[in-house]
Amino acid sequence: MADELDIPESHPRYESLLTRHRIEAGVEKGITSKQGLIAEGRGEAFDYLLGERTLESAETAERVAAAHLLLADRPVLSVNGNVAALVPGEIGELAAATGAEIEVNLFNRTDERMAAIASHLREHGAGEVKGLDADGRIPGLEHERAKVDADGIESADVVLVPLEDGDRAEALGEMGKTEIVIDLNPLSRSAQVAAVPIVDNVLRAVPNITAHARELDEESDATLEAIIAEFDPNAALQAAEQAIRSGDLK
Amino acid sequence: MADELDIPESHPRYESLLTRHRIEAGVEKGITSKQGLIAEGRGEAFDYLLGERTLESAETAERVAAAHLLLADRPVLSVNGNVAALVPGEIGELAAATGAEIEVNLFNRTDERMAAIASHLREHGAGEVKGLDADGRIPGLEHERAKVDADGIESADVVLVPLEDGDRAEALGEMGKTEIVIDLNPLSRSAQVAAVPIVDNVLRAVPNITAHARELDEESDATLEAIIAEFDPNAALQAAEQAIRSGDLK
């Protein structure tokens, strides 16, 4: 989805310019926080070291993520400020392709940001957006960080948490949920605790998961389970770390 | 300089918390821009990969930088928004130790930010702050980016440019100036074109240069020239790249 950026997709810096453009729009709309901008910069550096491409190991993880979302009884896509700013339309498409719910979940929760993000997602085609009720809790986190919807993340079996904070990723794992994490730092705690760590840029990862979900949509549960069973999260993390270490860094 | 952060320097995350604290204060004062926050995040990621420590090769480069500043006829410290937010007092101390001028030079120049940064530096002990006259130009850059002071950067022989944009670093080099660049990405164009690339966090680098300058203050020109002659910028960059590649990344 090209949004309102007026340059061709073939431009060598297209993805980078689109990212910058959407993040700046996010700041103007009150969606992206100061911490979100710093986090964006951290992601840029790791993506640069990875060569700004989807590793084969990440592509595999994205396929496994699609299988998990399709097999799940109650899949939820957790959306924070940066995710909403960067891939608002792509999250809606992934939800539609997998039957997942969308829930806004912020590290720095304020009513204004919650509302701004929900309306931004709806403007980009999302249906129902959860997270505003906040009638559920994640055990082990302090009050504001713990808030979720009872019929959303609290009762989900599979949760996609792109760009998630380490504490919350760990707490969600302890609730027994199958966690799919998208994080460009293979050594972040979030990536380390995930059942499916995807070391890739959300701009590439989310549409890739959607494409895999569409392709796998007609497959049997046994086929999806076989795809999942073959996956080794530690091998995926090691491949990403290896790419950072041995890449030509240009 | 501890600023108003109320935790002991022995705290394991002291530097990181201090950085965060100063950057947030910079945003509130109108010193740090959106681009500055993203750049801060990029720096954090590279510093993480370097192990958040000063490499031996960086310590050497900091000593060479001190020798250059002491030998210079007209040394200038170029200060942008992030430098002002992160090391306002430390820049004043380096200027005092080396007899260098301080000049504010912004990638996104506005009168408000120029004034806010100059007054922030003065509050932290800086004497005269240049950059507001803007009666000089760097050839080869578009209008706003090219503005400098005629009796500051334009006529400087040695310039310290921490966290500088690649285009301007290149243009300053083409003016024949000896450039000292502080940049955590050893492959950035700024680091690559510098006579003295310092791959280190500005919070560590600037006080280190000051300490070396104080120590070298009584040395003869011949001794300072010998320190400079021994330095190989490419070897320094390679050592930093090697540290990123082979570090344990934790």
**ipTM at complex level:** 0.84
Per-residue pLDDT band for B250 (boundaries 50, 70, 90) equals very low
Q: How many angstroms separate the CA of residue B34 from the nearest CA in chain A?
A: 7
Per-residue pLDDT band for B207 (boundaries 50, 70, 90) equals very high
The C-alpha atoms of residue A241 and residue B244 are separated, in whole angstroms, by 11
Are residues B44 and A40, on separate chains, in Cβ contact within 8 Å?
no
Check if the beta carbon of residue A117 is closer than 8 Å to that of residue A198.
Answer: no
pLDDT at B3 over 80: no
Are residues B34 and A24, on separate chains, in Cβ contact within 8 Å?
yes
DSSP state of B101: E
Residue B141 included in any domain: yes
**pLDDT (average), residues A54-70:** 97
Check if the beta carbon of residue A131 is closer than 8 Å to that of residue A105.
Answer: yes
Residue B165 included in any domain: yes
Q: How many angstroms separate the CA of residue A147 from the nearest CA in chain B?
A: 25
Mutate which of B37, B52, B238 to test chain A, going by most A C-beta atoms within 10 A?
Answer: B37
Give me A239's structure tokens.
């491949």
Per residue in A95-109, pLDDT (tens digit) is 999 999 999 999 888
User: Tell me, what CATH number does A143's domain have?
Assistant: 3.40.50.12640
Q: Is B179 exposed, middle or buried (0-12, 13-18, 19+ CB in 10 A)?
A: buried
A184 in a labelled binding site? yes
| Range of the structural domain that residue B100 is part of | 56-246
Residue A25 included in any domain: no
Angle (CA) A71-A73-A78 rounded to 5° is: 95
Check if the beta carbon of residue B103 is closer than 8 Å to that of residue B135.
Answer: no
Per residue in B40-85, pLDDT (tens digit) is 999 999 998 888 999 999 999 999 999 999 999 999 999 999 999 9
Strands B136-137 and B147-148, sheet pairing: antiparallel
Residue B28 included in any domain: no
Across chain B, mean pLDDT equals 92
pLDDT at A1 over 80: no
Kindly report the pTM of this predicted structure.
0.87
Residue A128 included in any domain: yes
Phi, psi of A132 (to 5 degrees): -80, -25
What pLDDT is recorded for position A175?
Answer: 94
- In chain A, whose CA is at the least distance from the CA of B245? A245
Residue B111 included in any domain: yes
pLDDT at B92 over 60: yes
| Number of domains chain B contains | 1
Per residue in A161-176, pLDDT (tens digit) is 998 888 899 999 999 9
What pLDDT is recorded for position B34?
Answer: 87
Q: Residues near A13 by Cβ (< 8 Å), separated by ≥ 6?
A: none
Smallest Cα–Cα separation from B49: which of A234, A243, A245?
A: A245
Angle (CA) B186-A189-B249 rounded to 5° is: 30
The C-alpha atoms of residue A185 and residue B209 are separated, in whole angstroms, by 31
**pLDDT (average), residues A213-235:** 97
Smallest Cα–Cα separation from B3: which of B13, B17, B12?
A: B17
Q: Which residue has the higher pLDDT, A208 or B19?
A: A208
Q: How many angstroms separate the CA of residue A37 from the nearest CA in chain B?
A: 5
Choice among A14-18, A37-41, A194-198 with the minimum mean pLDDT? A14-18
Strands B101-104 and A136-137, sheet pairing: unpaired
Residue B41 included in any domain: no
Q: Cβ atoms within 10 A of the Cβ of B47, count?
A: 21
Residue B40 included in any domain: no
Check if the beta carbon of residue A203 is closer than 8 Å to that of residue A15.
Answer: yes
What pLDDT is recorded for position A247?
Answer: 66
**pLDDT (average), residues A229-241:** 96
3-state secondary structure B166-213: HHHHHHHHHCCCEEEEECCCCCCHHHHHCCEEECCCHHHHHHHHHHHH
The C-alpha atoms of residue B52 and residue B14 are separated, in whole angstroms, by 12
What pLDDT is recorded for position A34?
Answer: 87
